[in-house]
Structure 1
Amino acid sequence: MQKSMIAGLWFVLVSMGSIQAAPKTYEVYPYDASGFERHPDLHNEWAALREKWTGKIAPQDALKRQYDLMATLSGREPHWIDGYWIAADAAFQYGNSFKDKSDFPIARASFAKGKAFAENCLKIRPDNPLCKFYLGVNLGKIASIDGIFSSLKNAKIVEKMWIETIESRYQHKFGPNTSLQGAARYALGIFYRLVPDLVLLKWLFGVKGDLSKSVAFHKEALEFDAPNVCSRTMLAVAYICEGKNDFTTPSGKLGFAQLQEARKLPVSSALYASCAKDLPRLEQNPKLACGYETSRQQETSEEEFKKQQDQGK
């Protein structure tokens, strides 16, 4: 695993009413490959698929096979911590490959399995930042399918998992341009945009949105990881939402500029393809910005929240 030390970065995070600063440096996560080493046949097939499709849009059957291999490995190695988060990632990647609404039940089932892998890990090692990150990721994707307002009971857990990830002392490189600390900030940027900024939400569920935090976390993510089409797109919609969905406001102009930057970047994964496909409609209709998510457009208005509460959803 490539060594990565991130130095000299300070950010302001308001959480639980206090201001906390990120550590100056991160230790390299102590990755353990022993589970792979004990099962070379499974590892060799998994590694070959990873190598073949890195930097490309992997077909669904390849993602499914990677998931199946990791599910088998984690079953054979119930105490291998790193096997659990790798399996949770495989479940997320496979689930995220389904884009048609008719396939959402399959996607949701995959995310639920990813959630279970991360939970099993945290039962053994409650402080593991990668398992916390992937618990948040898979819960977040379940929420994107069920609808943000229908999933608010889990919002505090998701926020907690990602905040604790960035407060961890560890950094881990998933690939040349993607890291744990960058990905957690990217996720928090989306979280604070999709969860509405309503006092009532804070009272009922202990969380509320914050567009300033959303923009700040997306900008920090770009300090950790090289820009990609989705990181630019998500920063763009955070800016546009902050600018009241109006390209003529200062924030709206910054958001439109980020959409143009996103167009210049390569599409090398199914997730990036989703973001790239959505760029034209975001440019044509900035009102989509606040509720934009790659799985489905989310409803974020106070009126809709109150309506769902009245209906008992």
Structure 2
Amino acid sequence: MLRHLDVAHDRFGLSTPFRISRGVKTAADVVTVTITQGDVTGRGEAVPYARYGEGIEDTIAAIRAVAPAIADGACRKDLAALLPAGAARNAVDCALWDLEARLAGRSVAALAGLREPVALPSAITIGLDTPDAMARAAAKVATVPLLKIKVDRSDPAAQIAAVRAAAPTPRLIVDPNESWTIETLETLKPHFLDWRVDLLEQPLPAGEDGALARFDSPVPIAADEALHTAADLDRLAGRYDVVNIKLDKTGGLTEALMLANRAREKGFGLMVGCMVCSSLGIAPAMLLGGQAAFVDLDGPLWLSEDRPGGVTDHEGMLSPPAPGFWGSLA
């Protein structure tokens, strides 16, 4: 039976601006794919990211270009030859997973041989701001299990110290989003243990991270922008301890599952992350959450209004979407 693919640009306003070292977002612009076979429809979502040379229009064009192949029966295993790793492939891959599960009358977790998603401690992100403003934001969520703070090169010591003083108990991820230099790392190194930093995420630009091989870090370092697919793992060895898997980088759940397996085989710890997106982008990623030491899937929590039936948060514990939302039966 022929399949029909539709693709659309959806925009979700944010309740507060999301600031990182590269800029500020006030809305989440996502690409939504629906693939219909008969009276059954699967959905997927992706966030094109300018850092990787992606935009809404070119992502939609790439998806439309493969619509005839999807209509003729191309499956998830065919996508790697049709689309490069990235947002376009992610949206199509996740829509195909959802469609396949609904046609089979089983959940995506069951098809993938994974346990069904459960509530997980997921990072609550403190956006980049003045140290005082970051401390006030941290104080409001000081009892959650895990915090992630966005910092830059302006005054990271004050930013981190302010958040830690306001929230002394949560585990702590520090994310400079490639904004530091090796000199910044060396300067801050003596303080990481005092601040009880649990993970340092992508401190140096991805193209300049060779210096990490010579840096004796007192805390684990995670690769984010430096990691896209399993093909990157050998290059990251000796530089990073943890890899941050995001479906928008891997090109969907199919590659993400393979990446997770290979990363563990090579001795990397796992983190699962996301862009600022709706729950449709988070539901597939939650299937990886049970395998990860660090889960950072709070993207929908920044939205003024999420898709109905999406994930919910209670004091830093992220619960899966309602049954039937994505990848599960109603």
TM-score scaled by length of structure 1: 0.26
Larger strand proportion, structure 1 or 2?
Answer: 2
TM-score scaled by length of structure 2: 0.25
Larger helix proportion, structure 1 or 2?
Answer: 1
- Give the structure, 1 or 2, with the largest relative contact order (CA under 8 Å, sep 6 or more): 2
